[in-house]
Amino acid sequence: MRGVHLLAAGLLSAFGVSAATASPPPAGIWANPSNSVHVAFKRCGEDMICGSVVWASLSAEADARRGGTDRLVGTMLFRDFVEDGAHSWSGDVYIPDIGQNLSGTISQVDARTLVGEGCVFAGFGCKSQTWKRVK
């Protein structure tokens, strides 16, 4: 299934804004568009946020195993995201079903909506996704 791949590609981001102007991170648990993966975001450094899988469907787990990730739940998909604008972050995203790290951005549109965008190569193979808060 391409759900994990699309999830990660949609939630890529890396940013750098001072703490005085920092937006609160996208708190809570977020679901990808197909609701096959749920990710919880939390602070992972003074000015960074990270997101780890807290729930995955059986098909998402199987896709991850085919890509070399034995256990999807607990895997950190979003790493070292820094703020690069108001409610916008960028960092590294691990895509377990292909076993690769990519760069991308996420923007929090409102309290229940995140939009992520990422590219396999700069300007090529770009995708965006809209994620919804589950908790």
Mean model confidence pLDDT for the chain: 82
Buried b (16+ CB within 10 A) or exposed e, 64-91: beebebeebeebebbbbbbbbeeebbbb
In angstroms, the CA 55 to CA 82 distance is 24
pLDDT band for position 1 (cuts 50, 70, 90) = very low
Average pLDDT over residues 8-12: 42
CA-based radius of gyration for the chain: 13
Tokens of 130: 């809209």
pLDDT per residue as tens digits for the range 24-79: 778 889 999 999 999 999 988 888 999 999 999 999 999 999 999 999 999 999 99
Q: What amino acid is encoded at 29 in this protein?
A: I
Domains of the chain by start residue, with CATH: 3-133 (2.40.128.520)
Reported confidence tier of residue 127, pLDDT bands at 50, 70, 90: confident
Confidence of residue 126 (pLDDT cuts 50, 70, 90): confident
